[in-house]
Amino acid sequence: MLKILVGYDFSAASDAALGWVNELGKIGKLETNVLYTNWPPDEARRLGYEGPLPLAANPEEIQKNLEGDLKERIARFLPKQKVTAIVEPGWGTPEGYLFEMASRQKIDLIVVGTHQRQGLGRVLLGSVSRAVLHHAKVSVAVVPPAKTVT
């Protein structure tokens, strides 16, 4: 059984990564974990949360909301697969959490989407997929978003 870790960020690129994993699941058995990392102050602001914020955790209300959203999104793309949804709040980089989780779970393959940013966008926003590709200790699949027809 192939153990997969998908890095997720609620984008079209991450949706494409889930779709790719769904296709891979048609070939053989998978054990899939989907990891969404977040910075608690950003989520609190986005969701209009006004209560106290722990330093390295989401308030229970926000954590439940994010877990529900992640499970709903996963079900759209991996409807027939058993998947573990993980919401990990913290202050580090997303790739750092992916590396740590891959090591802890003895993952065989990390799957991430790519936004395919160029130039200044890549400099300002960074590239998780690029960092994962260059520094992961396991195999990596980088999946571009589906082309949209206009």
Provide the pLDDT for residue 119: 58
Instruction: Mention every residue, 6+ apart, whose C-beta is less than 8 A from residue 143.
Output: 13, 16, 17, 19, 20, 111, 112, 113, 114
Domain 2-143, CATH: 3.40.50.620
Q: Would you list the domain boundaries of the chain?
A: 2-143
| Identity of the residue numbered 24 | L
Query: CA-to-CA distance for 133 and 14, rounded, in angstroms?
Result: 15
Provide the pLDDT for residue 124: 46
Provide the pLDDT for residue 2: 95
C-alpha triplet 68, 45, 55: angle, nearest 5°: 85
Give me the average pLDDT of each 10-residue run along the chain (150 residues). 95 94 94 94 90 88 95 93 92 85 94 71 56 78 74
Provide the pLDDT for residue 108: 96
